[in-house]
Structure formats: structure tokens, C-alpha cells
Structure 1
Amino acid sequence: MRVRREGPLVRATLSRPPVNALDSAAYRWLTETCAAMRSDECLLIDATGHVFSAGHDRREPPAGETLATGVAALAAVLRCRAPVVVAAQGPAIGAGALLLAAADVPIIASDAWVSVPELDVGVTVGQAVLRRLLPPAMASRAFLTSERIPAAQLAAAVVRPPEDVAGAAADAAAAVLRKSPALVSLARRTWGERERAATAYEAELAAFQSRPRDV
């Protein structure tokens, strides 16, 4: 995992071969990266390899302490002071799909797909964030079925041929940075939808953590 500053563009790259699974360290890295951003910058999150992210690292219990760390990381992306562009060059699964959904500008390769198998691993959180990428009914369906949703069905995402994803992400970040940082910051605050998604996501976590023991 690495962060590179290119003037006001900050490029954060997931690099955890072979599938960029997200563990506690990766979640903390995302949280810290977002916390360090200024409102006059743009954060571009991308990844190495053929998979954007396979989601939560199965070597850590999905419903344990790491879940709260992951929720905090994705909430930090939603609350980032800087606009966020996410470039998914391959499949985005579980927390990887939610990371794509948390972007201001989500970009995905045309041959990629998203999937949220959260219920399969015993976790119920994330639908509030996924609704930023999919219509509410489709987001619910995706959670209940764990089906693969092809890039072409992601109406909120920018879909590009695989070889064009990196360039499209750089172009999107440049377009944002050409605008008045003060106006961009004001717009993102007054729209309020990112904060609503973060708050709803945290409420999902609280409900999951307080579930009866037999659930």
C-alpha cells in the first residue's frame, strides 16, 4: 500500500497481492489517508493486479473487531474533506465494492463486476453504502443473493474499457481539481448525502453488534 502526492492529486494504491484483500492495517491506512487530505486536494484510490479488491481478508474474523475498523475506514472515505475518485480495474467484492460505492466518482472496467457476499460470511452491514452505487431495490437484491452485478449495470459508475480506466480516473481527478476548491467543498457539504450514508452505515454496525446472541 502506498500514497503518492502529485501536486494537489493524492494517489492511494492498494497493493496486497494476489487480490488486494483488506485487513486491519489496510483499513487503518485508508482512514489515515483520508484524515490527512485537504479540501483543495483530490484523492484517487486505485489498485494493482487484476482484482481491485476481494474485500475483507478472511484471515481476520469478519464479524470481529476488524469489522468496526472497516466500517470506520469506509466512513472516513465518505467523510473525506477532499473529493474521492476510485478506479476499479477489476472485480470489487464485499468491502471492495463498498469502497467503490463510497467514491464521488466511481470508475470501473467494463469487464469487471461487483458482489457483496456479506450475509454469506455472517455480516449484515454495508447496504447503506452500496445504495450509492446501485438503486435501493437492486442493492437489497445484491445483498440477499450475493450475485455478481456486471459493470454495465452500475448506473452510478463511469464504465470504461480496462485499458482506459487509469486514464479516465486521472481525467476525472483533473476535472475536479480545475474547479474552485471552496465551491466543491461547499457543494459536497450541503448535498449531505455522503454524511447520511456514513451515519446509516454506522447504524447498521450498531444494530449488528447489538443483535441477540442467537442471530
Structure 2
Amino acid sequence: MVVDYECRDGVARIHLNRPERLNAVVPALTEGLLKALDQAVEARAIVLAGRGRAFCSGHDLKEPTPDETSLETRRRLEQIQDVTRRIRAFPGIVIAAVHGYALGAGCEFALACDLIVADEQAQFGFPEVEVGLSVTGGISALLPKIVGPAKAKELLVLGERISAGQAAATGLINRVVPAGEHEKVALELAARIAARPPVATSLAKQALDRGLDSTLEEALATEVDHAILTSVSGEYRHG
């Protein structure tokens, strides 16, 4: 299995499991990740991590170039984009627990998540332009909103790797933790989230995601709709 899945106490754990290739992306890994995300229907939070020495080193450039038509290439790339779609559509919170490398598609997987916890030795980057490729995971929309247009262009065009500390300073990730503590801290956060009211948590995620592309009036309307939903959900804790 190139992707491992388990779920306990409302927290799903998904591990990319190609450690011999630093969890580099091949179609089987993409398919396994999508299947694992689909399995997490009962989970309230997900922790996405990688086995071995890295989170995910990006596309496996040592794999032979696929002999495929343009339509087949489109379908393969859209399947990779489905990872972003699944994570963003998941009603709970998805936390990336990053160590080693999060490069290219690996960085895209991480940034699709709601929160990112990174080992202090982790490195992030987008080497696609340098090797003559293009980003595919919705990064052209997500990255400028996270770090601003100028920094996003710098990260994509120059392709320089940045440290966990630099990533935190630019707002790319949430927390930097001591080496080897990334999964432990991510699981602790996931357990806290799983214990919170699920409707309110899901609506908070939806409101913020929608708010990125909303006018102020649209955001205000969404907030009223969500306030009504939470008022009848039975989750409100008086006192």
C-alpha cells in the first residue's frame, strides 16, 4: 500500500507510504490518497503525513514519461487536483504534519490543508518552473491569498526552498515544532478539534474559505445563515 489509513476517536491518520522515493507522487499514490480521503467520512479531523524521511518530495521525476494523449494527461492532472478538491470539501479540519521535504506536489498537498504543523527541519518549495513544469494543485489561487501576489511569484518563479521558520514568517504554515514532533503535535491539535462541536467547526471552515472570494455583503449573509444553523444544531453550550 502506498497510502495508509486508520481512524480512531474521530481522527483519521493518512500516511503517504513510498519512503524509498521520499513519497514522490505517482498515479498509484494519488489514487490511494483520494481513496483514503473518501474513507474519512466519519472523521472530524484528518492528519496527513508521510512515512520515512519526508512528507512528499513532489512528482517522481525518475518515473518514465507517460506515453499518453493530451486527454489522458489532462485526466491524470485533474486527478491530482482532486486531492485539493477533496481536502477543501472535507467538512472537518485537515492538518498536514510536515517533515523533511514538502516540494512541488507535496507542497501543494500541504497548502490544500486547513492547518500545517512543520518539523523545524522541514523545507518547502515549488521547483516546477525550474524543471520546465507547471503547478497543478490550485496553487495559483491559494498561494497569493496566503502570502500575497509578490511573494507567490517569487516562490514559483525562483523555486527557492524555504525553511519551516521562513514559511511560518510568511504565513505559509501555522506552527514550527522541534524535530520529530510534527505528528505528535498535529494529532494533539486534531484531537482537540475532534472534541469541538462539529457543525460549528465545519461552518467556521466554510465561512473562511468562502470569505476569501466573497464581497463583504456576501460574507455578512453567510455569517447570518451559519448563525441560524448553529442556533438550531443543539451544539450551543450555555454558560
**Deviation larger for 129-138 or 18-27:** 129-138
| Equivalent residue letter for 1:86 | A
- What aligned pairs does 1:143-158 form with structure 2 within 5 A after superposition? 143-155=156-168, 156=171, 157=173, 158=175
Q: 2:38 aligns with which of 35, 40, 44?
A: 35
**How many Å apart are 1:61 and its aligned residue?**
4.3
| Separation in structure 2 between the aligned mates of residue 194 and residue 47 of structure 1, nearest angstrom | 31
Q: 1:159 aligns with which of 149, 173, 176?
A: 176
Q: Which residue of 2 aligns with 1:9?
A: 11
Cα distance change of structure 1 residues 131 and 107 upon mapping to structure 2, 3 Å threshold: farther
Q: Which residue of 1 aligns with 2:221?
A: none
Q: Which residue of 1 aligns with 2:142?
A: 129
| Separation in structure 2 between the aligned mates of residue 33 and residue 160 of structure 1, nearest angstrom | 26
Cα distance change of structure 1 residues 124 and 6 upon mapping to structure 2, 3 Å threshold: closer
| Separation in structure 1 between the aligned mates of residue 47 and residue 112 of structure 2, nearest angstrom | 12
**How many Å apart are 1:167 and its aligned residue?**
1.4
**How many Å apart are 1:23 and its aligned residue?**
1.2
| Equivalent residue letter for 1:14 | L
| Separation in structure 2 between the aligned mates of residue 132 and residue 49 of structure 1, nearest angstrom | 31
| Separation in structure 1 between the aligned mates of residue 42 and residue 150 of structure 2, nearest angstrom | 33
**Deviation larger for 65-74 or 10-19:** 65-74
Structure 1, residues 106-145: CA drift from partner, whole Å, max 9, x if none?
Answer: 0111111111012223224433233465343222111000
Cα distance change of structure 1 residues 60 and 71 upon mapping to structure 2, 3 Å threshold: farther
Structure 1, residues 120-177: CA drift from partner, whole Å, max 9, x if none?
Answer: 2322443323346534322211100010111111233211111221211111101211
C-alpha RMSD over aligned residues: 2.3
Q: Which residue of 2 aligns with 1:54?
A: 57
Cα distance change of structure 1 residues 132 and 33 upon mapping to structure 2, 3 Å threshold: farther
Gaps of 5+ in 2: 214-239
| Separation in structure 2 between the aligned mates of residue 86 and residue 176 of structure 1, nearest angstrom | 14
| Equivalent residue letter for 2:8 | E
| Separation in structure 1 between the aligned mates of residue 38 and residue 10 of structure 2, nearest angstrom | 15
| Separation in structure 2 between the aligned mates of residue 84 and residue 194 of structure 1, nearest angstrom | 18
Paired residue secondary structure (1:53): coil
TM-score w.r.t. the length of structure 2 is 0.74
Percent sequence identity over matched residues? 24
Cα distance change of structure 1 residues 131 and 35 upon mapping to structure 2, 3 Å threshold: farther
Structure 1, residues 39-74: CA drift from partner, whole Å, max 9, x if none?
Answer: 751111111111111111222648934322211222
Contact 1:98/1:130 (<8 A) preserved: no
Aligned length: 196
| Separation in structure 2 between the aligned mates of residue 85 and residue 162 of structure 1, nearest angstrom | 17
**Deviation larger for 179-188 or 37-46:** 37-46
Gaps of 5+ in 1: 197-215
| Equivalent residue letter for 2:176 | V
| Separation in structure 2 between the aligned mates of residue 140 and residue 110 of structure 1, nearest angstrom | 24
Cα distance change of structure 1 residues 88 and 140 upon mapping to structure 2, 3 Å threshold: same
Cα distance change of structure 1 residues 88 and 133 upon mapping to structure 2, 3 Å threshold: farther
